[in-house]
Amino acid sequence: MTCSEFLKELTDYLDGVIDAPTRAELEEHLHWCHNCYVVLSTTQRTIQIYRESHLYELPDNLRDRLRSAIMSKCKSHGAKGDKEKA
């Protein structure tokens, strides 16, 4: 198994919906490939952190300022894109 093949199967591996022979190949690959082991470990940790996190409610004034700043940036960026196409 190559690293590219490992990455293609990573989601199914994490979801536990992978057939036994492919799982065995992936786990064998993880024994000798440090890079893929780090990708798997980091992805698992990221999922764990996300699942344990709580939504932070922004104060109304901050949310409004943030939305305005984003919209302003999108509009100015969109205008630049229109000029580049012309």
The set of residues, in sequence order, having a beta carbon less than 8 Å from that of 49 and lying 6+ positions away, is: none
What is the pLDDT, as a whole number, of residue 83? Answer: 52
> pLDDT below 50 — which residues of the chain?
86
What is the pLDDT, as a whole number, of residue 19? Answer: 95
Query: pTM for this one?
Result: 0.60
Q: What is the 3-state secondary structure (H, E, C) of 12-53?
A: HHHHCCCCHHHHHHHHHHHHHCHHHHHHHHHHHHHHHHHHHC
Cα torsion at 9, 14, 20, 21 (round to 10°)? 30
φ, ψ for residue 81 (rounded to 5)? -65, -40
What is the pLDDT, as a whole number, of residue 76? Answer: 82
Which tokens is 38 given? 């780090």
What is the pLDDT, as a whole number, of residue 53? Answer: 80
